[in-house]
Amino acid sequence: MAKIAVLGAGAWGTALAMNISQRHQVSLWARNAGHVSGMRKARANPLYLGDFKFNDNLQVEDDLQTALSGADLILSVVPTAGFRAILKDIKALACTAPIIWANKGLEPKSAKLPYEVALEELGDPKVTGQHWGALSGPSFAAELVRGLPTAVTLAAADEAFSSEAALLLHGANLRVYHTTDVIGVSVGGAVKNVMAIAAGISDGMGFGNNARAAMITRGLAEMTRFGVALGASPETFMGLAGAGDLILTCTGQYSRNREVGLQLASGKSLADILQGLGHVAEGVNTTAEVMCLANAMHVDMPITFQVDQVLSHGKSAQDAVMDLLGREQKAEGF
């Protein structure tokens, strides 16, 4: 039995901690002492995940050093905006345990993917010996915690470590595949949220199943173009971290990003939507960063462009959809 430190007690971090605690000792860390106190009393996370009870292998901590002590693996599930800060905190505590992150999106302002942040803050694993990687795939916390089958992909540059870390997390209703394409897995986890907003707008406007299927398929093309331009393998986007996560996020009832699109289509303001969500919708922040990077690399991303116009430039959802439909005819391709 290993010790896993799970950093971030939102819905996904808690669901992962609860699943992994069926096989290992887990320290679930949250920065907010009040949140930690509430979880300790309830032996659950009522704020984000209802009354699903923690087992005896799961301990809750608000002190990072205590949470990291003796950890064989760190699983970071803090929002992408706070990812760099948590890596700095881990480094300041001289903890050299391998780190896997499960947050998705691009860092605000810098437009850097999590693997780029990790490279800057932790260094190259080939040099430092401290391995790191990403965990991503079609996964709703509410289903994982209920014991429903869930499959994800773990990516790390070192194939042996990727396999070992995947095996460590694999078990119960959680199936973990492994790959060495950290870039592809990171891109899939970021861009799918943008496409889910677009799919939500389409659904909210009553455009039906045909339109949603087209949106998902062309969204996959955009995701693949973007990822390949960054150095990812195109095959990754046919897998769980690409098509799998994209399909789930664009169709699933628990998708916060799709919900943003649905409410935008109804005419609500973005500020009101975000205030009412109560959870982070990563796609809202990610869209502008993806668009900025796509422009710099001259990657054509028409769906992303229109979502950005709606989120950041005051364009109506209706006008964005009409402009997508009005694009000139072309050959299908990636």
The catalytic residues are: 192
CA angle 235, 186, 181 (to 5 degrees): 45
CA angle 35, 89, 121 (to 5 degrees): 135
> Among 174, 182, 187, 206, which residue's Cα sits nearest to residue 318?
206
Count of residues making up the chain: 334
* Residue 288 φ then ψ, to 5°: -65, -40
* CA torsion through residues 131, 190, 241, 21, sign: positive
Asked whether 189 and 245 are in contact (CB, 8 A), the reply is yes
Q: Measured between alpha carbons, how far is 290 from 273 in angstroms, rounded to an integer?
A: 21
Q: 240 — alpha (psi -120 to 50), left (phi > 0) or beta? A: alpha
